[in-house]
Amino acid sequence: MTFYTYDYLQGSQSSWQYARIIILSVLAVIFIGFLVHYLRNRMDSKYKDLTIIVGTLLLLILAIQYDDFSAIQSASAQTGQITQTVKQIAKRLHVGTKSVSINSTTQNANLMAKTPSGYYRVDYNADGSQFVLEKVELDGSSHIKVQEAN
């Protein structure tokens, strides 16, 4: 069973999104540069071809980004919900958020929390707005791995 720390959940929330934004920005700057060179030197077809290639690549990446946009929003919302759950667990147990780990990156029905005082099952009510912590004992054959932030 893998548990994820609060720092891991915070870090995984936006790292790939920032990488995509950086890639898109770099491609947009390169496209504008080639376009300006082409407009200055209309007789040189090299810049025209490079502008078309980079523009096509930019449109392709924008289409992929748009396609993944709803998935990214959903994942960010779920990660935000789970980090709020970790904060609430830490507050209820009077421990720091860094000492609480959770076994999922999304809010689901089978959530477990690992804390310094033991393992807890997180039992949500029907609408998912509140939860109850129930202390559990894991059997000795359970392999526990804690995934921390890099």
DSSP assignment of 60-119 equals HHHHHHHHHHHHHHHHHHHHHHHHHHHHHHHHHHT--GGG-EES-SS--SSEEEEETTEE
Give me the chain's average pLDDT, please.
80
Q: What is the mean pLDDT of residues 9-25?
A: 72
Q: What are phi and psi of 59, to 5 degrees?
A: -65, -40
The amino acid occupying position 12 is: S
Question: pLDDT at position 109, please?
Answer: 65
Above 60 in pLDDT, residue 9? yes
More confident residue, 119 or 65: 119
Do residues 8 and 97 lie in contact, with contact meaning Cβ atoms separated by under 8 Å? Answer: no
Element housing 121 (H / E): strand 118-124
Q: What is the mean pLDDT of residues 107-123?
A: 84
Do residues 102 and 86 lie in contact, with contact meaning Cβ atoms separated by under 8 Å? Answer: yes
Q: What is the mean pLDDT of residues 47-63?
A: 86
Do residues 112 and 1 lie in contact, with contact meaning Cβ atoms separated by under 8 Å? Answer: yes
Question: pLDDT at position 118, please?
Answer: 87
Q: How confident is the model at residue 62 (pLDDT cuts 50, 70, 90)?
A: confident
